[in-house]
Amino acid sequence: MSYFERHVLETLIYLPMLAALILVFIPRPQKSLIQGISIASGLALLIMSLYAFIAFDYDGGARFQLQRSYPWLDQLGIAFALGIDGIAAPMVLLTGIVSLAGTIVAANIQRDNKDYYILLFLLIAGVYGTFVSMDLFFFFFFYELAIVPMYLLIGVWGSSSKFKDFDRPKEYGALKLVMMIVAASLLIWVVIIGIYVESGTGSFNIETIMATIDQPGRFSETFQSVMFLMTMVGFGLLAGMWPFHSWSPDGHVAAPTSVSMLHAGVLMKLGGFGIIRIGVMLLPDGLREWALLLFIIGTINVIYGAVSALAQHDLKYVIGYSSVSHMGYVFMGIASMTAVGLTGATLQMFAHGIMTALFFTIVGGIYERTHTRDTLVLNGLASKMKWGTAFFVIAGLASLGLPGLAGFVAELLVFIGAFQTQPILGALGVLGAAITAVYILRLVGRTFYGERDKKWDNLTDLTPREFIAATVLLVPLFYVGLYPQPLLRVIRPGVDAVLAGLGA
Amino acid sequence: MNVDFSLLIPEFILAGAGFLVLLVDLLVPKAQEHRRNVVTAATAVLGLAVTGIVAIATQIDTGERLYDGLLFIDRYALLFKVLFAGIGIAVIVMSVDYVADKMRHPGEYYALIVFAVLGATLMAESGELLTAFISIELLSFSLYVLVGLSRGDARTAEASAKYILLGAISTAIMLYGISQLFGALGTTRFTEMGPLLTGAGGWNLTLITGFVMFVAGLGFKLSMVPFHMWAPDVYEGAPTPITALIATLSKAAAIALLLRFLAEAGSGSVNEWRMPLAVLAAATMIIGSLSALPQTNIKRLLAYSSIAQIGFILVGIVPNTVIGANAVLLHVIGYAFTNLAAFTVVVVIELKLGKESVADFAGLSKRAPVLAMIMTGALFSLAGLPIFAGFLTKFYLFTSAVDKSLEWLVVIAVATSVISLYYYIRVIREMYITETEDGSKLPVPLLLAGLAWVMFAGTIAVGTYPQPFVDATNAAATVLTPWIGL
């Protein structure tokens, strides 16, 4: 292993922290310097992530690769252990892509952009840390670290909204989001301590614990069953699981653009990832017991999210509910317990992360120009915002599963997996995709095409910065849609190992 | 009886330093108020620093018993000795500007802090009930005076009266408990009590009342439910640095004594007291967290939050294991850093704005960004979020409890953690989100800014690089191994 290979994973955590630390010492008025450093760090993160992804040996390599371990707290068996498997590798890449796009879009922030970027980089460090940790303590450590900055990011830089019948001040969105996620994360806290004690290994290392699952006397079925349910709710909430999803649309409506991008793009994926990492890998009996429930909830997520999106006419609420709907496919894929379904679930996390970040980039751009997100007021923007429209339409088409874009591959795989196990629920999932087509096309038709209101005559198209951010997101959307092989062959060994653990 | 007095050098230095401060106070002319304040403070800090350094330099690897088992000089006592000296220094540094502004008698003030540290140190060392009692009294009397030392303020007078009255009652209860224990067992030494408590006869009424009353007396010092009523009023009325002293020094000393007592005297009978103490821990966490919710004064809020924190600490005492003791000691260290950081910020606010309600923190992120950041860090640490000390230490505490099938207690602890986040976040919301008209910068005294930074750094150090701290707590907890299980 080269020097670079040995240290790439820890660099992914330290680099954003270092960026945050450097920013602390730059005077507040130096706004463009702050932007420059931040975007450069974002670019460096994407390059490092790509490097880690490419360095991952999908062909016969070890399950967890690029491993590093540093002693941290011997008395409790905690080590700063890092490593990625086939499921974490695409998530690392996703984080790199969305981080770069997010730091570029965040350059639009005018007020105190120093503090904003510091918090944003802490969030990014937390997300990377969660994806690459092999130690359950650090997994949880970084998971919480990713949540904490959200409160200030939304509460300080967010926007309050007034609707006809109700108000959504930004503090409301921020508080609801943080309190609900932290409350759920405490279930995970209990699960992690429970697993640690029950495994009897005296270690928090995932590989060490996995080796003991099958030993008699460890991880009884009752234990796994209870723990899995807690894992499912704890992580599921962050992934927008019905009926605990309500923080997600409210949070997105309040959040500034780049926070929405990172949140829907990568933070919600921590939920799905956590269910696979802890629920499926460490509690396989629990999954078998609750698979049907997870399947049903996933299907409800798909339909409920889509129907709710249909009823909304605020752009961010539409995208927020569409996220709830799309995360449902992730649950369905996991619950199918098939290789195809799990692959689809992982790919869906990747595809949805990219497309939803793209959505928010454009929606944020529209909001900054028009100060409204109401689709009843926004009409015919296409003639003024050609590029903005193009990007939005492509994200929309990816969202409704048009072949040639990443979303199609992912959903197709999930459906195949679903039909193999629960054909009826699978069919309902397809119905959800059909509703998605309705609300996306209706939204595009109303907002971008049709007759333009005089109000929008002076509207300007995307700034070069927004254009670049959108392009960063657009490329992988097409690439994965047209040629998903590189991603699939990395995911595959990860999924196979998970299935081997499930005994399927 | 052969006593090696060299083992007690740090304690002698501490006592000497207290008197030296009083002497220095007399030597500086009355008119030079400012000079008197600085010189006496510097003397006290110096005395505490020398104590800490000498304690580390003269440490011994074996545990020594002095005066026929009245005092233990061991690694356990060493940890607390150094911690208490550190807390004393921090509180004195925190006080300098405060005393100049609000107090009349700097010499007495600093000397009493030094004596309080001495009392606390002896509490951590005592291995016998009456020695423990006298140490507690030394600490308590210092605190009684300190609480009432502020210039004519009705709240201070009320707090002081309340603290003395309730303190006296709890003392009486504790003394009665000690007499019962002595009557039933014929000894007051912890290590001799241990085997007797497990004796075949079981626990008779005398023994139960004695045990319960002694622990109740300590529970008062700890503000453990149901002996917590005094805490909010005293916290609010006392001079803020003294509030910090009560929250850290007095609590930590009571923890030190309780942990040692329960380990050395109570290990054999752990099944008798585990469940009642676990219930009290749960009640302390629940009542502390819920009562904090409606508070509008930051000192009252921190009072209730510290009650909840005592509940968390008890979660680590209940299992009666080395890993639990380790977790308790680590939490005490992290909690001291965190609380001192928070109180330093409160002192600045009080000095500059003359008020200390939560609403006075509005717009602090604009007026003093560094203070706002440090306060946020401290509150997140209290709430148990990474990268701060509270995350690791709570994780450690809860892990130790699950080991002994106290899952229900952990679930309550975890649930109250969420509640606590809600009221900590209210303060953060004031600082960062609430808009204010007065956006002028707050001048932060250099000394207080420096102290806040050091405590903030300590909070992060415990949370991110705990090995050196855990090595120290482990050495201390290992002292208890002859009595308690792993």
- Name the residue in chain B with its Cα closest to that of A143: B386
CB pair distance less than 8 Å for B399 and A73: no
Q: B293 and chain A: CB distance < 8 Å anywhere?
A: no
- Render pLDDT for B209-232 as a digit per residue (tens, 0 to 9): 888 999 999 999 899 888 888 889
Q: B396 and chain A: CB distance < 8 Å anywhere?
A: yes
Residues of A in contact with B414 (CB under 8 A): 186, 189-190
Compute the average pLDDT of residues A471-497.
88
DSSP assignment letter at A67:
E
Q: Which of A51-65, A111-125, A180-194, B470-484 has the lowest mean pLDDT?
A: A51-65
CB pair distance less than 8 Å for B411 and A197: no
DSSP H or E stretch at residue B64: strand B64-66
Give the span between the Cα atoms of B121 and B114, in whole angstroms: 11
The minimal CB distance from A145 to the residues B387, B411, B428 is found for: B387
Q: B387 and chain A: CB distance < 8 Å anywhere?
A: yes
Residues of B in contact with A179 (CB under 8 A): 418, 421-422, 425
Amino acid (one-letter) located at A157: W
* Chain mean pLDDT for chain A: 87
In a domain, B109, yes or no: no
Give the span between the Cα atoms of B453 and B110, in whole angstroms: 23
Give the span between the Cα atoms of A130 and A137, in whole angstroms: 10
Residues of A in contact with B425 (CB under 8 A): 151, 175, 178-179
> What pLDDT is stored for residue B155 in this prediction?
77
For B401, the token pair is 């409890």
The minimal CB distance from A144 to the residues B385, B410, B428 is found for: B385
Give the span between the Cα atoms of A297 and A306, in whole angstroms: 14
CA distance A13 to chain B (A): 13
Give the span between the Cα atoms of A146 and A121, in whole angstroms: 9
In a domain, B218, yes or no: no
Residues of A in contact with B418 (CB under 8 A): 179, 182-183, 186
Q: B469 and chain A: CB distance < 8 Å anywhere?
A: no
The minimal CB distance from A182 to the residues B410, B418, B474 is found for: B418
Give the span between the Cα atoms of A486 and A497, in whole angstroms: 18
Where in A158-253 does DSSP place strands (E)?
Answer: 161-162, 167-168
CA distance A49 to chain B (A): 23
The minimal CB distance from A196 to the residues B380, B399, B410 is found for: B399
Select from B278, B310, B308, B311 the least CA-distant residue to B402: B278
CB pair distance less than 8 Å for B470 and A73: yes
> What pLDDT is stored for residue B102 in this prediction?
82
ipTM topping 0.95: no
In a domain, B283, yes or no: yes
CB pair distance less than 8 Å for B386 and A144: yes
In a domain, B438, yes or no: yes
DSSP assignment letter at A276:
I
- Name the residue in chain B with its Cα closest to that of A72: B467
CB pair distance less than 8 Å for B402 and A197: yes
Tokens 């006496």 sit on residue: B40
Q: Other CB atoms closer than 10 Å to residue A162's CB: what's the count?
A: 9
Parse chain A into domains and list their residue ranges.
3-502
The residue among A17, A116, A152, A188 with the most chain B CBs within 10 A of its CB, best to mutate, is A152
> What pLDDT is stored for residue A296 in this prediction?
92
Per-residue pLDDT band at A45 (split at 50, 70, 90):
very high
Q: Tell me which of A19 and B201 has the higher pLDDT.
A: A19
Q: B415 and chain A: CB distance < 8 Å anywhere?
A: yes
> What pLDDT is stored for residue B173 in this prediction?
92
Q: B462 and chain A: CB distance < 8 Å anywhere?
A: no
- Name the residue in chain B with its Cα closest to that of A125: B387
Residue B462 near residue B337, CB atoms below 8 Å: yes
CA distance A74 to chain B (A): 8
Q: A21 and chain B: CB distance < 8 Å anywhere?
A: no
- Render pLDDT for B259-280 as a digit per residue (tens, 0 to 9): 999 988 888 788 888 888 999 9
Give the span between the Cα atoms of B137 and B449, in whole angstroms: 34
Over 90: is that where the pLDDT of A127 sits?
A: yes
Range of the domain at B285: 270-486
- Name the residue in chain A with its Cα closest to that of B384: A144
CB pair distance less than 8 Å for A193 and B386: no
For A162, the token pair is 């007034």
Residue A123 near residue A268, CB atoms below 8 Å: no
Cβ neighbors of A314 (< 8 A, separation 6 or more) are: A161, A163, A253, A373, A374, A375
Q: A223 and chain B: CB distance < 8 Å anywhere?
A: no
List chain B residues with pLDDT less than 70: 1-2, 151-152, 199-202, 403, 485-486
- Name the residue in chain A with its Cα closest to that of B410: A190
Select from B321, B230, B304 the least CA-distant residue to B267: B321
DSSP assignment letter at A374:
B
Inter-chain Cβ pairs, chain A and chain B, closer than 8 A: 79
B485 forms bridges with which residues in the sheet? B321
CB pair distance less than 8 Å for A76 and B399: yes
CA angle B316, B318, B324 (to 5 degrees): 35
- Render pLDDT for A195-234 as a digit per residue (tens, 0 to 9): 888 888 888 888 888 888 777 767 888 888 889 999 999 9
In a domain, B119, yes or no: no
3-state secondary structure B369-428: HHHHHHHHHHHHHHHCCCCCHHHHHHHHHHHHHHCCCCHHHHHHHHHHHHHHHHHHHHHH
In a domain, B184, yes or no: no
> What pLDDT is stored for residue B201 in this prediction?
60
> What pLDDT is stored for residue B112 in this prediction?
94
CB pair distance less than 8 Å for A179 and B422: yes
Residues of A in contact with B403 (CB under 8 A): 197
Q: A47 and chain B: CB distance < 8 Å anywhere?
A: no
For A163, the token pair is 């609707």
- Name the residue in chain A with its Cα closest to that of B434: A156
Give the span between the Cα atoms of B126 and B137, in whole angstroms: 13
Number of domains in chain B: 1
- Name the residue in chain A with its Cα closest to that of B363: A156
DSSP assignment letter at B128:
B
Residues of B in contact with A74 (CB under 8 A): 467
The minimal CB distance from B380 to the residues A148, A183, A189 is found for: A148
Give the span between the Cα atoms of B177 and A127, in whole angstroms: 54
Give the span between the Cα atoms of A347 and A1, in whole angstroms: 28
CB pair distance less than 8 Å for B421 and A145: no
Q: A142 and chain B: CB distance < 8 Å anywhere?
A: yes
- Render pLDDT for A4-18 as a digit per residue (tens, 0 to 9): 778 888 889 999 999
Residues of A in contact with B396 (CB under 8 A): 76
The minimal CB distance from A75 to the residues B386, B429, B474 is found for: B474
The residue among B321, B331, B382, B385 with the most chain A CBs within 10 A of its CB, best to mutate, is B385
Q: B429 and chain A: CB distance < 8 Å anywhere?
A: yes
Q: B433 and chain A: CB distance < 8 Å anywhere?
A: yes
The residue among B387, B396, B406 with the most chain A CBs within 10 A of its CB, best to mutate, is B387
Per-residue pLDDT band at A284 (split at 50, 70, 90):
confident
The CA-atom distances, in angstroms, between B338 and each of A162, B135, B253 are 39, 26, 17
- Name the residue in chain B with its Cα closest to that of A152: B432
3-state helix, strand, coil in chain A (%, to 5): 75, 5, 20
Sort residue A200 into left (φ over 0), alpha (ψ -120 to 50) or beta. left
In a domain, B376, yes or no: yes
How many helical (H) and strand (E) elements, i.e. helices and strands, does chain A have? 20, 4
DSSP H or E stretch at residue B215: helix B205-222
For chain B, how far is it from start to end, CA to CA, in angstroms?
Answer: 34
> What pLDDT is stored for residue A208 in this prediction?
86
CA distance B432 to chain A (A): 7
Select from B296, B305, B331, B290 the least CA-distant residue to B243: B305
Sort residue A305 into left (φ over 0), alpha (ψ -120 to 50) or beta. alpha
- Name the residue in chain B with its Cα closest to that of A146: B386
In a domain, B244, yes or no: no
